[in-house]
Structure 1
Amino acid sequence: MKEISVLELKQWKEEGKDFQLIDVREPFEYEMSNIEGENIPLAGIVIEADKISKDKPVVMQCRSGARSAAAVNQLESLGYNDLYNLKGGILAWAAEIDDSIQVY
């Protein structure tokens, strides 16, 4: 499984790289804090797979990296291949990039 660090993701955002960011946490978690990804909870990732791009890199993100890794595995089984798991999730983003992010 390919992973991306929060520093690499920040660089992608700053460069304006064309990619999709999917936050697989539950809506209440997303409302508490997010880094502007599209919210598709893990439980619905296969059902809503048509919302996920096959034409550009896709970064899957959650709280710590575990649920997003599960999402990557599920999508890879459907033929997706340009997927990245955000290492450390929003906890790492808060620790290394933006300490104003509310974590739980």
Structure 2
Amino acid sequence: MFKLKKKKNKKEYKLVNPGDEVLAPCAQDVYRKAVVISYQEIRNNPTLRIKFKSGNMNFVSAQLCYKIVKGIAVPLEKPRTKIQKLCLWFLRRFGLAEV
């Protein structure tokens, strides 16, 4: 009889900017700090060009990286599960992160 109107979230999800530090995979189950050089989309997948402190430059999927905000690792990809959304809501609610 009555239809509920769903609110659409029109906010763009902000990705990292060049020069930001991220945690990126460098080996199996090993993450290291790296600096983002550029952001690209390859075949509709967000990809980061990163540089480790050792000087190695790589292309890495943004879905595998984390950004460090106030000592908390936040995933770069848009949250899909309710638990990820709840965690980010808590971070934003208490002013710990600006994603």
TM-score (norm: length of structure 2): 0.28
**More RCO (CA 8 Å, sep 6+):** 1
Is the radius of gyration larger for structure 1 or structure 2?
A: 2
Higher normalized helix content (fraction of residues)? 1
Higher normalized strand content (fraction of residues)? 2
TM-score (norm: length of structure 1): 0.28
